[in-house]
Amino acid sequence: MTSKLCISAVQPVAGKHALEIEWSNGRRHIVALAEHINTFTVLSPLLDLALFSQAKVGDWGFDVTWGNDLELSAVTLHRLALKQSGEVMLTQDFRK
């Protein structure tokens, strides 16, 4: 799945590894990221909520960045947002 959406704004959810994201089409999603962070070792610095709370929109809205080469692409975040909100069906569910 690809997305042509860009991120207009991002706000960390206080006390959680989650982001409230506003997309270029005006829609908003809250994306929980704890599981995603725990899956990829390179993202482990984001387990520190002080660092996680420094999230900001990257250049041209193509990602969310925390600096120091820590970033998540808009495509990944949009895929997670749709999955978590139930707006997209998992492949195994579709096959059933």
**CATH code for the domain of 84:** 3.30.2020.10
Q: What is the pTM of this model?
A: 0.85
SS3 8: strand
Stretch 11-27: mean pLDDT, rounded?
96
Q: Residue 79: which residues within 8 A CB-CB, separation 6 or more?
A: 1, 3, 88
The pLDDT assigned to 92 comes to 67
In a domain, 90, yes or no: yes
Domain total of the chain: 1
Q: Residue 26: which residues within 8 A CB-CB, separation 6 or more?
A: none
More confident residue, 93 or 24: 24
In a domain, 1, yes or no: no
Stretch 6-24: mean pLDDT, rounded?
97
Express each pLDDT in 51-85 by its tens digit.
999 999 999 999 999 988 899 999 999 999 999 98
In a domain, 2, yes or no: no
Question: Which domain range does residue 23 map to?
Answer: 7-95
Distance, in Å, from the CA atom of 64 to the CA atom of 21, rounded to the nearest integer, reads 9
The pLDDT assigned to 68 comes to 84
